[in-house]
A = this chain, B = another copy of it.
Amino acid sequence: MIKRPSYLLPPLEWVRGYNKGIFASDMLAAVIVTIMLIPQSLAYALLAGLPAEMGLYASILPLIAYALFGTSRTLSVGPVAVVSLMTATAVGKVAQTGSAEYLAAAVAMAMISGLMLLLLGILRFGFLANFLSHPVVSGFITASGIIIALSQARHILGVPGHGDNLPDLIASLLPHLGDTNLVTLVTGCAAILFLFWARSGLKSLLQRMGFENTTAGMVAKAGPVFVILATTLASYAADYSALGVALVGEVPQGLPSLGVPAFDLGLWSELAVSALLITIIGFVESVSVGKTLAAKRRQRINPNQELVALGSANIASAVSGGFPVTGGFSRSVVNFDAGARTPAASILAALGIALTALLLTPVLFYLPKATLAATIIVAVTSLLDFKVIQRAWQYSLSDFIAVVLTIGATLLLGVELGVLAGILASILLHLYKTTRPHIAVVGAVAGTEHFRNVDRHNVITQPNLVSLRVDESLYFANASYLEDQVYSLIADNAGLEHVIIQCTAINEIDMSALEALESINHRLQEQNITLNFSEVKGPVMDALQKTDFLQHLSGEIFLTHHRAVQKLKQDVIEPYII
C-alpha cells in the first residue's frame, strides 16, 4: 500500500505515466514556486554574505539535479536559511566577507559538501542522520532562527555589524545604534509589517474580495514579491541611494558560467569539519521535509538515495557558481500545496529562475537590502519552536537537557559548536543512562507464570533464590555496574542458594560483559550460590554458545523464568515433602 520508489534513476517511475494533465499541474506549481524563489534566493545569498546572483545560480542546476536523482516527488531544493547561515559562519573563518576568496570558499563548500553527501549515500550511511534527536534538531533550528533574525537587524537599521553568535551580534550592533539610517529603518519595518500581515490578513482579504480559497492562499504566499516590487519602485522614485540606503546594486545579467571549482587541499581541509556539519544538518532538514510531504501522499523516500540526490544538487550548485543547498521546508510546502505532482515541476521552476537571471536582473539594482532582510526575518519566525522546551521538560530530563544545551550553545557559541554540543550531549546522555541500568528484583504474580518488580506489584518471592530482571543490554559501559549491583544484592541476602537473571530485556552481551558475568559466576560459586539465566534471546544465546561460558556456569539456562523458579525452589522444599 505504500510504494517503494525505484532507485538509481527515480524519474523512470513517473516519466512513463506523464501526460498533459500532470504537466498542467506541474506548470502551475512551477510558476508559483518561481515567483516565491526569486526573493528567497536573493535573500539567502545576502544571509550567506554572497552577491545576489549566487542565490539565483544556486536555484537553477541544483533543482534539475535533485529532480533526476531524488526520491521525493515534491521536495524543492535550493538555498535555505540555516544552511546559508552555516555557510557564512564557516566561510567567514577562512576569508574576508565580500572578497574573491570568500566567494571561492562558498563555492568550494558546496563542492565538498556535495562530495560528502554522495560518498555517504554510496556507503549507505544515511543512518548517521538518526543521531540527531528531535529535541536537538528543534533546539538547533530555533536558536539558528534567532541568530539569523538578529544578523539581519543590521540591514534593517542600515548599520555595520557582524558575528555568528548572540553576544557578538549584540556587541557589534549596540555601538552603531545611533547611526541608524531612518529611511532604511522605515523601509525595513514596513516590509516586515506587510509580510506578517500578508501571512494572516492578506488571504482573508483576498477571499472577501471574491478570490477562490486556493488562489487567495497562493497569492498571499507571493507577499515577498509585492514587497520587492514596492520597495524597488520606492527606491527608484525617491533615489534611496542618495539617502544612504544600501541597495543590492549591479547584478550580472545572464546564466552562470560552468566550471569545476579548483581543488585546493589547504582550503578544503580548513573547510572539511564545517562542511561535514552543513552536510549533516542539510541532510536532516531535507529528509524530514521530504518524509513529511511523502507521508501525506502515502509515498516514501529513501534516505540513502536522498544523500546521492542532495550530493548531486550541491555539486551542480558548485559547478554553476552557487553555494550549499538543501531541501527547504517553506519552498517545498508551496510546491506541494500548488499541486506539483512530479519533479518536473522543479525542472520548470529552474527554467523560470534561469529566465529571471537572463532578463530581470537589471530591475534588482534598486532593491534595498533591507527588503531582503525583512523577508528573511519573517521567514525564520516560522522556524522558532519554543514549545519543544516545555514538552521536553514534561517528558524527560535528558531530552530537556539536550534541547536547552543545544539552544544555549548555539546562541552563545554559534551554529557549529551548538549543533556539535547538541549531538554529543544527546549521545552521552543516552550512554549515561545505559551505564546504570534499571535492575529490578522480580517475583511471581499469583496464579500466573508472570514475574513483576517486587517494588511495584504484590508478588511471591522465594527465600532461597533471588530473581533479577536487568533492563538493559549488557555491554562494556555497564558491565562493572552489574557486577557491583549483584555483589551488593547477595551481601544483603543471607541464605541465598540461587541467583536467576531474567534476560527478557538483554538484547546483547558483549565481550566485556561476558567477562563480568564470568567473574560474577566465579564469585558466587565461591559462596555456594549458583548463577542461572532465564528467557535468554536467540541472538544472545547464539553468541554465548560460541564461548566456554556455559560449560563453567554453576547454574542452568531456563526457557522461562517460571520453570527456573519451579525447579530451583523445589530443591529446598523437597526435604519437607519427603
Contacts and interface: CB of A to CB of B under 8 A. Distances in A.
B395 A543 contact: yes
Contact of A448 (B131, B449, B478): B449
A453 B507 CA distance: 14
Interface stretch (A237-245, A328-336, A435-443): A435-443
Nearest to A388: B511
A478 B391 CA distance: 20
Interface in A541-578: 543, 546-547, 560
A342 B394 CA distance: 51
Interface string A145-165: 000000000000000000000
Interface in A494-512: 504-508, 510-512
Interface in A416-470: 426-427, 430-438, 440, 448-450, 453, 456
A476 B131 contact: yes
A472 interface: yes
Interface in A459-493: 471-473, 475-481, 487, 490-491
Mostly, the A contact residues are helix
A539 interface: yes
A477 B507 contact: no
A547 B391 CA distance: 9
Q: By CB atoms of chain B within 10 A, which of A1, A453, A475, A490 has the most?
A: A475
A519 B476 contact: no
A478 B438 CA distance: 20
Interface in A112-147: 127, 130-136
A382 interface: no
A2 interface: yes
Contacts of A471: 507, 537, 539
A2 B479 contact: no
Interface size class of A (residues with CB under 8 A): 35 or more
Given A427-B431, A510-B398, A491 B1 contact: yes
B131 A477 contact: yes
A563 to B, nearest CB: 10
A28 interface: no
Contacts of A440: 538
A523 interface: yes
Given A1-B490, A395-B546, 16 more contacts: A127-B432, A127-B435, A127-B436, A130-B435, A130-B476, A130-B481, A131-B476, A134-B479, A394-B546, A396-B511, A430-B477, A437-B507, A440-B538, A448-B449, A471-B539, A505-B505
Interface of A: 1-2, 127, 130-136, 295, 300, 303, 391-392, 394-396, 398-399, 426-427, 430-438, 440, 448-450, 453, 456, 471-473, 475-481, 487, 490-491, 504-508, 510-512, 514-515, 519, 523, 527, 537-539, 543, 546-547, 560
- 6 nearest A-B residue pairs (beta carbon): A133-B476, A134-B512, A504-B504, A471-B507, A399-B511, A133-B512
20 contacts: A130-B435, A130-B479, A134-B512, A135-B511, A300-B487, A395-B514, A395-B546, A396-B510, A396-B543, A430-B477, A430-B510, A438-B507, A438-B537, A438-B539, A449-B450, A471-B537, A471-B539, A504-B504, A505-B505, A505-B506
